[in-house]
Structure 1
Amino acid sequence: MTSRTAQNGGHYGAIVVGGGQAGLSASFHLSRAGIDHLVVEKKTAMHKWRDERWDAFCLVTPNWQCQLPGHPYDGDDPNGFMVKHEILGYLDRFKAKVKPPILEHTAVTAVERHAAGFRVETSAGSFTADAVILATSLYGTPSTPRAAERLPDDILQLHTVDYRSAEALPPGAVMVVGSGQSGAQIAEDLHLAGRKVHLATGNAPRCARFYRGREVVDWLWDIGQYNITIADDGMGKKRHDTNHYLTGRDGGRDIDLRRFAQDGMALYGRVKGVSGGRMLFEADLTSNLDAADRVYNGINALIDRHIAEKGIEAPPPSVYVPLWEPAEEPAELDLAAAGITSVIWATGFRPDWSFVGLPIFDGTGYPVQRRGVTAVPGLYVLGLPWLWTWGSGRFLGVAADAEHVVEHLTAAVAAPRQLMAQAG
């Protein structure tokens, strides 16, 4: 069944907190293992995909990488990029296959130790479980800097989760703050709609869409980049990396901020404050663009080495040469004089682990775990970027991580039950 009326005080083999792709992947494997469980979701299953994506949203990885458990991509364009309604259809079909025992519109307020297991307090009552899987991801609460409080009242402010289209904004220029995947794609969406766009950049890297005759993701798959784990040398810092910006729009293409600038988009360094109706910027625009290009060329060089080592016939290599250079580093912008009527904060999210009353976090607030297994027996995390591999937080890798977590959970839950049976 796809919804559930859970009894207050009920006990389960496992409780899954979060009903996104990670939570439902856990449910899939828990059902296959025969473990009675409950998925608790604050809103509705997969709501972020439905309610927190703009109208022109599409995947940035090819459709063939959609590999949810028991539900590989089932369309007719594996090398394409699903748009929003296609993604929702894919996820709806996944949910229908899983039939998760899910309690929606229910907030988890506490996860604590209880006897040999856990007590999970929710807005629908209290439950107990032998194990708990935290599948709430890092994309919890939209984050905006305190500088937002000092913007003039007549400027509309939105986080990326609330942006839908250029047409939904008031007339005028738009400031997009942040050049990660969402910020860069929304800036492009506004630019294509004919809006004057101002973009405050950050340290996000970029990647080519196609190189030497193939989709870059396909090259990286062949090279083995998607098999590298967080346990490999030097990969620990990847957990905090910003995603590369590129797009699957219109069949896929690069996003080149320098080309946007050539076409009239105004670029700035990182926002450092707001004062007197002016937005203030760091003098790091040039270094931000150069750093993104170094990553772009570095990925292409990795592909070049692979092609040479394997003796693969392919079009000749190339190195990206900047199309545009900043004439200056703008220190500030008078928002009213620039005609800016909207500011879109593409400044990420803050994870919300406040309900977890157990010692599993490091000094940065990130859960300490190895492929989802924490030091607290019976407590697991799932769906985080680089939980184990590059694909862990995506449709590509979450199935394998969920299977690993449930295998560990099954063994951990079975052991004490076997001891009790022997004692009985």
Structure 2
Amino acid sequence: MTDLKQSAFPRPDRAGQPTEIDTLVVGAGQAGVAMSEHLSNLGVPHLVLERKRIAEAWRTGRWDSLVTNGPVWHDRFPGMEFPGLAPDAFAHKDQVADYFEAYAQQINAPIRTGVDVLRVVRNADRAGFTVETSEGVILANRVVVATGPFQRPVIPPIAAQDAGLYQIHSADYRNPQQLPEGAVLVVGAGSSGVQIADELRRAGKQVYLSVGAHDRPPRAYRNRDFVWWLGVLGLWDAEVVQPGKEHVTIAVSGAHGGSTIDFRRLAQQGITLVGLTQSIADGVVHFQANLAENIARGDENYLSLLDAADAYIARNGLDLPEEPQARERLPDPDCVTQPILELDLAKAGVSAIIWATGYANDFSWLQVDAFDANGKPQHQRGVSSEAGVYFLGLPWLSRRGSTFIWGVWHDAKHIAGHIAIQQKYLAYRDPSQCQAETAASQPVSLSGVR
């Protein structure tokens, strides 16, 4: 367990008086560490609480072989590079966790690990909030929710009720060896689903991959990684999600040195593609007849980025090599032209289903008026509708890149600035009152008194 600045901020006292702090940050992943850096730079007293270890989700909430989806020159904080890695490398998940732990040490972040936040309520008789934790009570003027978007794994209600079928969420997948003998159905074709399906295929498993709507950028094009293209084209900084794209996943991978996700190539290599999973009943999975449509729309997304990149190169006179082979397309495999609409799991030998179906937020501990009727946080660039509450690390918090390592750092800077401004307002004192207090504190002169 790592504790930084141990003497500066004592732990909550179970039996004694509550700990008081100006700003409490909940969560010590990338969002919490970034928040701490900016608050420290602005002189805001704060404390960061983490229920387990710094960047715990990177260590134990991912599969064994996971690497970052972006190269380390891009997916990092400005204040430190990844040690021992080439700029275009993709960091392993444990290297990412080590990076954030080292970064927290570098900035001397006031982090307390092993402390679970149980409840936050607004005070009725004084400013700020009362925070109940596993180690006592904290009184805070402000609370920053830096728990990120990956809080509660979601398995849809259509999941099979067959006790003999091995079913897990991608959050609980670690490696092919944990699965029983037999074929596997992977539901979800975003980054997680595609990478897990490919790993299982490489391990000799027969794999069915359920493909829904997705974006499919090139890993790299004309000697530049896709993260560079999204940057220069202004797409990372897009502030409004396109209608219909709210829940579209992105199929990209840094595995095996990074390569473009091509569903036709995956099929050519032995993965059987199926459409969006619609229902499961009596051991039979039913798929929508939309596989070809989903892949075609992914192709459109892919080609649109190539077109935008070509136009940018021409407009700016860049000397980057042409790459005509990037537009070549493999023929549609049989599983696309003659899609499987029903799959009898027993007959197909499917013994396991992995649900790569995303996550939901869990703010049940945050009992303040900061949510809409659907339980979604109400905020503007992370500044909540509930004064004194802030959110950090959520998708589209301020822009498309808000959930990425570099994006959360910039969002944290904005929120820290808002907190520092509010702190200055609260520190204001009436000049006339200050003069009166100064005069009252001066010694009375008795000269001339008879």
Length-normalised TM-score, structure 1: 0.92
Structure-to-structure mapping, 1:238-387, within 5 angstroms: 240-313=246-319, 314-317=321-324, 318-325=326-333, 326-387=336-397
* SS of 1:65 mapped into structure 2: coil
1 CA distance for matches of 2:366 and 2:322? 53
TM-superposed CA distance for 1:404, in Å, is 1.4
CA shift for structure 1 position 333:
0.7
- 1:46 positional shift: 0.8
Q: Which stretch shows the higher mean deviation, 14-23 or 255-264? A: 255-264
Q: Is residue 259–residue 324 contact of structure 1 (8 Å, CA) maintained in 2? A: no
Structure-2 separation of matches of 1:58 and 1:329? 32
Structure 2 unaligned runs (5+)?
438-450
8 Å contact from structure 1 (residues 155, 341) kept in 2: yes
Query: How big is the alpha-carbon RMSD for the aligned residues of Structure 1 and Structure 2?
Result: 2.2
Partner of 1:190: 200
Answer whether contact 1:157 1:343 (CA < 8 A) is retained.
yes
Q: Number of aligned pairs?
A: 419
| CA pair 320-122 structure 1, distance change in 2 beyond 3 A | farther
In the TM superposition, residue 32 of structure 1 has moved relative to its aligned partner by 2.6
Query: Does 2:422 align with 1:412?
Result: yes
Question: Which stretch shows the higher mean deviation, 305-314 or 1-10?
Answer: 1-10
| CA drift at 1:316 | 4.5
Cα distance, 1:262–1:90 mapped onto 2, change above 3 Å? same
Measured in 2, the distance between the counterparts of 1:310 and 1:244 equals: 28
Specify the structure having the higher radius of gyration (Cα): 2
5 Å-filtered alignment, 1:61-80, equals 61-68=70-77, 70-80=79-89
Please report how far the alpha carbon of residue 418 of structure 1 lies from its aligned counterpart in structure 2 after TM superposition. 2.1
Query: What residue identity is the alignment partner of 1:216?
Result: F
2:409 aligned with 1:402:
no
Query: How far 1:420 moved relative to its partner?
Result: 7.8
Question: Which residue of structure 1 aligns with residue 33 of structure 2?
Answer: 24
Q: Percent identity?
A: 35
1:130 is matched by which residue type in structure 2?
A: N
- How many Å separate the matches in 2 of 1:206 and 1:351? 25
Q: What is the deviation of 1:36?
A: 2.4
Match of 1:144 in 2: 155
Deviation at 1:370, TM superposition (A): 2.0
Tell me how far 1:355 sits from its aligned partner: 2.0
Aligned to 2:53, the other structure's residue is in SS state coil
Instruction: Decide whether aligned partners of structure 1 residues 397 and 420 sit closer, same or farther in structure 2, where only a CA change above 3 A counts.
Output: farther
C-alpha separation in 2, matches of 1:173 and 1:250: 23
CA-to-aligned-CA distance 1:106-160 (integer Å, 9 cap, x gap): 332322211221121223222111111011122110100122252x222211111
Cα distance between partner residues in 1 of 2:109 and 2:253: 32
Tell me if the contact between 2:54 and 2:101 (Cα under 8 Å) persists in the aligned partners. no
- Contact kept in structure 1, 2:187 and 2:356, CA below 8 Å: yes
CA distance, structure 1, for counterparts of residue 313 and residue 12 of structure 2 = 56
CA deviation string 1:204-249 (max 9, x = no partner): 21111121233222233233333x241xxx5475983434212112
CA contact (8 A) 1:66 1:73 kept: no
Distance in 2 between residues matched to 1:237 and 1:120, nearest whole Å: 38
